[in-house]
Amino acid sequence: MDCEYLKNKRILLVDDEQELLDMVVSILKEEGFCNIWTAKNVKDALSVAAAVEPEIAILDVMLPDGNGFHLMEQLKQNGVYPILFLTARGEDEDKFKGFGLGADDYVVKPFLPKELVFRIMAILRRSYKDESPLVKLQNSEIDFERAEVIKDGEHIPLTAKEHDILSALYRNAGRIVTIDALCEAAWGDNPFGYENSLMAHIRRIREKIEENPSRPVSLITVKGLGYKLMIGGK
């Protein structure tokens, strides 16, 4: 599961370089993060944190009116949430100081966008692992964290391919996902020729999530286009 619920977490990003702020915001938004606040100094960061109560903070070490280490200590006085340092200061002494003060990770500029996203997601998974939601459908629930469907009190395991297909549908809940996109989600960068296999997996998924697989109400076929997953309880 891509843990889409984690991408709704409130992020505070603090750096005095506007170009860096814009770049990181763009990277995160492209990956689906939608609650991002920025600040360029300690004073503004504390003000924003008080207003939005962030659930993760990404801090530079060197700031115009102080430093990220001191800012982290101040932030932790008013809330308990993970901290990641994103800084040009890569000396071991700075890393040790950051981790010693309770930082969750330390990324040195320049960085690879994908690495930053992976590190943020790893922190969020560790910090909020007990919040993974059950996705409620009309006649069942999906537990992506445990890779299973819960229906009529029974826990039904999902295969890896079923999990991949449902994850892609859930990320686009209520919207059509094309056959090609679902094949790519399940079989990777060369998805051609898997249409029949996809149909077989869709049939088995319906047997697990639907009350009547022959008349699906949660996993709908959109003829000639693809499928869509309808979220919602009874």
Collect all residues with Cβ–Cβ distance below 8 Å to 218 and sequence separation of at least 6.
137, 138, 139, 140, 209, 210, 229, 230
* Full pLDDT tens readout for the chain, 234 residues: 446 678 888 999 999 999 999 999 999 999 889 899 999 999 999 999 999 999 999 999 999 999 999 999 999 888 889 999 998 877 778 788 888 888 999 998 888 999 999 999 999 988 887 666 688 999 999 988 788 999 999 999 999 999 999 988 987 888 899 999 899 888 876 767 889 999 999 999 999 999 999 999 999 999 989 999 998 765
According to the model, what pLDDT value does residue 134 have?
Answer: 82
H-helix or E-strand spanning residue 19 = helix 18-30
Q: What is the pLDDT of residue 233?
A: 60
Buried b (16+ CB within 10 A) or exposed e, 134-172: ebebebbbbbbeebbbbbeeeeeebeebbbbbbbbbbbb
- Report the DSSP beta bridge partners of residue 85: 59, 106
